[in-house]
């Protein structure tokens, strides 16, 4: 199965600074992905349509789900998404607790975990970490509570580099798909990437055939792609 994660920056073309669903869809189609995790997506209720649905239509992946983390007036509901060639038999939005009290002076934003069970028996988790360490710690705790023991995939923008120890509890439960393939390949910013903050983790029963960070400039993040098997 071919899988990918993509922070689309609400489908904003990085070069033109305009909403561009077609360039985002092409970035997905060029990989041949069977499922794609999406970060920074808007849905109906404000200035935008359901952007997850828009990409599902353009990629031919008829199965899609939007997970709202927060609502921003006037833009609308905002969060994570998943599009898939496989039917989703169960989908859930798991809220990540906001740190209380906050330990830092940085920007805070409520986040969520998208959890989907596919018809082929896979569990897919899609997450976008906050910018502060206490937010990341809460995200990791939420993920650990929702990891399936087998056939589990975790993807998203984690906003931390690979050497950050906050990822260690996840690494103890799952394997980083990039290891041995592209573990030191940066994903942001897309035109001249400097740091890796986008990840694909899979449960230990799954085999990673290969993984890569294609040189695609669509949003401000590059896509992260992997091929896995049982």
- Read off the pLDDT of residues 106-130 as tens digits, 9 standing for 90 and up: 999 999 999 999 999 999 999 999 9
Burial 81-111 (b: 16+ CB within 10 A, else e): bbbbbbebeebeeeebeebeeeeeeeeeebb
Read off the pTM. Answer: 0.97
Euclidean distance between CA atoms 73 and 77, whole angstroms: 8
Q: What is the average pLDDT value for the chain, to the nearest integer? A: 97
Closest CA to 223 of 29, 87, 19, 15: 29
For residues 178-202, give the mean pLDDT: 97
Euclidean distance between CA atoms 126 and 135, whole angstroms: 16
pLDDT in tens, 26-70: 999 999 999 999 999 999 999 999 999 999 999 999 999 999 999
Reported as a pLDDT band with limits 50, 70 and 90, residue 12 is: very high
Q: Tell me if 200 sits within 8 A of 178, measured CB to CB.
A: yes
Distances (CA, A) of 42 to 60, 80, 197: 19, 8, 21
pLDDT in tens, 156-179: 999 999 999 999 999 999 999 999
Closest CA to 227 of 196, 206, 203: 206
Evaluated on CA atoms 162, 194, 129, 118, the torsion sign reads negative
């Amino acid at each position: 199965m071919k899988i990918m994660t993509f922070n689309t920056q609400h489908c904003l073309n990085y070069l033109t600074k305009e909403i561009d669903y077609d360039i985002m869809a092409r970035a997905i189609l060029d990989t041949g992905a069977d499922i794609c995790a999406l970060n920074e997506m808007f849905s109906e209720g404000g200035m935008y349509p359901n952007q997850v649905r828009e990409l599902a239509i353009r990629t031919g992946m008829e199965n899609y789900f939007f997970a709202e983390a927060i609502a921003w007036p006037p833009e609308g509901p905002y969060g994570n998404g998943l599009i898939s060639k496989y039917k989703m038999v169960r989908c859930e939005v798991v809220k990540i607790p906001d740190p209380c009290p906050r330990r830092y002076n940085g920007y805070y934003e409520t986040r969520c975990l998208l959890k989907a069970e596919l018809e082929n028996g896979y569990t897919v988790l899609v997450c976008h970490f906050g910018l502060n360490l206490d937010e990341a710690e809460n995200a990791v705790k939420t993920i650990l509570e929702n990891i399936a023991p087998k056939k589990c995939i975790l993807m998203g923008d984690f906003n931390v580099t690979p050497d950050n120890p906050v990822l260690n509890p996840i690494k103890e439960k799952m394997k980083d798909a990039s290891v041995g393939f592209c573990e030191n390949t940066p994903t942001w910013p897309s035109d001249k990437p400097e740091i890796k903050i986008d990840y694909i983790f899979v449960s230990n029963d799954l085999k990673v055939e290969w993984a890569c960070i294609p040189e695609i400039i669509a949003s401000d993040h590059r896509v992260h792609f992997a091929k896995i098997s049982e």
